[in-house]
Structure 1
Amino acid sequence: MSTFLSYLTVLALATLLLAPALYGLARDRRIDRRLREAADGRSGRTLRTAPQKSSSRSTVPSTATW
């Protein structure tokens, strides 16, 4: 029984150490896929954008420094 618990402990520690790395790898692959799709002009997914404000005045950037 002690051997089984040792294996289980090693498996749990390995999972805890590998989980963040595997999550980051999956995230990087997803971002790379979206960049390739954007470069090819395909739109595999619609991006959510903020609603546009309609204004008759043009926006001038602020030059004030504090």
Structure 2
Amino acid sequence: MNTNQIEALIGMLAVAGLFVIMVLPSLIGIAHDRRVDREIREAQDQRGQKEDQKSSSRSTVPSTATWYAEGRRSKKLVNS
């Protein structure tokens, strides 16, 4: 190898080193964000499973009598 080739090699290594130094923090940040997102998703899944276990088997839809009574109350408020 002559002097020009060695200088070119050193220059390429310097550019590659600077590129790694500049890109590495963003890659670390991306990996950190993905890990945090995965932990949040897992926590939400566990929370959803706990809420599913707590819910009763009864329907949350109001009965016809409740719907009728609420309708009558609202009509009375409008008419008075």
> TM over 0.5, yes or no?
yes
Aligned-residue sequence identity (percent) comes to 40
Correspondence 1:1-66 to 2 at 5 A: 1-41=6-46
Alpha-carbon distance in structure 1 between the residues aligned to 2:37 and 2:12: 36
Q: Which structure features the higher share of helix residues?
A: 2
Rg larger in 1 or in 2?
2
Deviation at 1:35, TM superposition (A): 0.5
Q: Tell me the matched-pair count.
A: 42
Normalising by structure 1, what TM-score?
Answer: 0.59
Question: In structure 1, how many angstroms separate the alpha carbons of the residues matched to 2:32 and 2:25?
Answer: 10
Q: What does residue 74 of structure 2 align with?
A: none
Q: Which runs of 5+ in 2 are unaligned?
A: 1-5, 48-80
Superposed structure 1 runs of 4+ greater than 3 Å apart? none
Offset of residue 2 of structure 1: 1.0
Give the superposed CA RMSD: 1.3
Q: Which has the higher contact order (CA 8 A, sep 6+)?
A: 1
Q: Structure 1 unaligned segments of length 5 or more: list them.
A: 43-66
